[in-house]
């Protein structure tokens, strides 16, 4: 959510930003907010004048009573009573206008960074850099669930009976590999100076409103029936929510946290052939990283965050590339975003395994996360990035480490987490 003062003073810039995001249907909202804001400020000014006048008259009443001028004092009391009704009306109007303004401001997109490429959707995202040499072996790479089934590592049929489509049982060495990757990612981030955290796996509605747009919430979040609780779609939600309604001392920044959690997602919409199996699912586990920092430091932290993911995958010999999301592919709260994509030898292309985002002060403004600095209070900047999200990451891992005999090589960095095991065999 952008600053109402910025919108008031720069309406054309806000409209131009909407056009860059191909959201022309929202252009009229800017003028609507400006009109409501003017009306709200007018009502507030009248209410403030009435309160000041009431205080003034109250003092006059006290003086008149002290002088024994009861009749004049009663006239003043009647004047205060008459103004009280009008003040009540104005206060109610202020609340209504404020609620309407907030509702509209919640759907006005954040101002994107000038460096963001302009494009309508993800087909116009821009490749930044490749890391590692993509390889295509001279033997066939089966579909990822076929690799897992060959190693007795997955049971989708039983999961469908128990929970339906979009769920799975991981078994044996594949399940152990899944846990090993999470544990390695945890230690990887701790070694980079991040504080490890296991957050709540459910959050309240006001936190949901603070960390994401309504469109994202509707497409992702599962609500607990009869309660003001939602299952998290990523631990970023509860990690950023940790700082709701707080004032952080400037010298305590940055806050750098890495978190483990299960994640739950509706995953609405049709998915293509390559999204069968465990690519898009309703339940998975993830290691995440978030940063709360000073505004001027967020670009530096953005580059550090996506680099962490690149370095993690390269430590396991998985080729990756970074992709910058174009304006039309950015969620409304985001200022800038990179996707990290891993190489798929089977598909002979890259696919997304992580996403890094700078949200500026959008989440902090919604959640009232402020910083107390030398020059006063201001809103913090928040960033998030995926460290690793198995089982999707397992697709890249299995394809890039599959050997001709059907076994899977375990990179050296993961072997301690697999009890010294160097290969997974049937």
**With b meaning 16 or more CB within 10 Å and e meaning fewer, what string describes 327-360?**
bbbbbbbbbbbbbbbbbbbbeeebbebbbbbbbb
* 397 in Cβ contact with 417 (< 8 Å): no
One digit per residue, the tens of pLDDT, for the chain of length 426 reads: 899 999 999 999 999 999 999 999 999 999 999 999 999 999 999 888 888 887 787 777 777 777 777 777 667 777 777 678 888 888 899 999 999 999 999 999 999 999 999 999 999 999 999 999 999 999 999 999 999 999 999 999 999 999 988 899 999 999 999 999 999 999 999 999 999 999 999 999 999 999 987 777 777 889 999 999 999 999 999 999 999 999 999 999 999 999 999 999 987 654 544 556 788 889 999 999 999 999 999 999 999 999 999 999 999 999 999 999 999 999 999 999 999 999 999 999 999 999 999 999 999 999 999 999 998 999 999 999 999 998 889 999 999 999 999 999 999 999 999 999 999 998
> 136 to each of 76, 99, 133, 362, 411, how far by Cα in Å?
90, 56, 10, 43, 18
**Of 243, 235, 241, 250, whose CA–CA distance to 208 is shortest?**
241
Strand 376-379, strand 154-155: pairing: unpaired
What pLDDT is recorded for position 269? 55
Please state the pTM of the whole predicted model.
0.89
252-286 residue pLDDT tens:
999 999 999 999 998 765 454 455 678 888 999 99
Residues in the chain: 426
Q: Kindly report the number of other CB atoms within 10 A of residue 123's CB atom.
A: 9
4-105: CATH architecture: Orthogonal Bundle (1.10)
What CATH number does the domain located at 122-424 have?
3.30.930.10
| Every domain range in the chain assigned CATH 1.10.287.40 | 4-105
What pLDDT is recorded for position 270? 44
| Every domain range in the chain assigned CATH 3.30.930.10 | 122-424
**d(C-alpha 36, C-alpha 94), whole Å:** 10
**Of 325, 409, 419, whose CA–CA distance to 120 is shortest?**
325
* 240 in Cβ contact with 384 (< 8 Å): yes
What pLDDT is recorded for position 387? 96
Pair of tokens at residue 112: 């994107």
């Amino acid at each position: 959510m952008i600053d109402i003062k910025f919108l008031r003073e720069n309406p054309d810039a806000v409209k131009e930003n909407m056009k860059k995001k191909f959201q022309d249907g929202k252009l009229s909202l800017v003028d609507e907010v400006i009109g409501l804001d003017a009306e709200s400020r007018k009502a507030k000014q009248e209410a403030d004048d009435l309160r000041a006048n009431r205080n003034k008259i109250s003092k006059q009443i006290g003086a008149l009573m002290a002088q024994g001028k009861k009749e004049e004092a009663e006239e003043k009391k009647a004047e205060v009573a008459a103004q009280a009704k009008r003040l009540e009306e104005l206060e109610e109007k202020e609340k209504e206008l404020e609620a309407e303004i907030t509702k509209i401001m919640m759907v006005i997109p954040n101002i994107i960074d000038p460096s963001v490429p302009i494009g309508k959707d993800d087909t116009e995202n821009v490749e930044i850099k490749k890391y590692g040499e993509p390889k295509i072996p001279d033997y066939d790479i089966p579909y990822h669930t076929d690799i897992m089934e060959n190693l007795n590592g997955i049971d989708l049929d039983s999961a469908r009976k128990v929970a339906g489509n979009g769920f799975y049982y991981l078994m044996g060495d594949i399940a152990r590999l899944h846990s090993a990757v999470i544990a390695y990612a945890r230690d990887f981030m701790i070694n980079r100076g991040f504080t490890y955290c296991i957050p709540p796996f459910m959050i309240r509605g006001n936190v949901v409103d603070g960390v994401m747009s309504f469109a994202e919430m509707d497409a992702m979040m599962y609500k607990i029936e009869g309660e003001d609780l939602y299952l998290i779609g990523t631990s970023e939600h509860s990690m950023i929510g940790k700082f709701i309604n707080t004032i952080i001392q400037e010298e305590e920044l940055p806050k750098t946290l890495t978190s483990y959690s299960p994640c739950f997602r509706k995953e609405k919409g049709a998915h293509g052939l390559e999204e069968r199996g465990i690519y898009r699912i309703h339940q998975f586990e993830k290691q995440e990283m978030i940063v709360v920092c000073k505004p001027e430091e967020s670009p530096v932290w953005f580059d550090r965050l996506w680099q962490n993911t690149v370095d993690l995958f390269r430590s396991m010999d998985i080729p990756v590339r970074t992709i910058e999301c174009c304006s039309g592919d950015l969620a409304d709260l985001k200022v800038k975003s990179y996707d990290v994509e891993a190489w798929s030898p089977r598909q002979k292309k890259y696919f997304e395994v992580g996403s890094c985002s700078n949200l500026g002060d959008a989440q902090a403004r919604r959640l009232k996360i402020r910083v107390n600095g030398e020059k006063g209070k201001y809103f913090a900047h928040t960033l998030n990035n995926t460290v690793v999200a198995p089982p999707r990451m397992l697709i890249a891992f299995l394809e890039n480490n599959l050997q001709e005999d059907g076994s899977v090589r375990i990179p050296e960095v993961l072997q301690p987490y697999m009890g010294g095991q160097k290969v997974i065999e049937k």
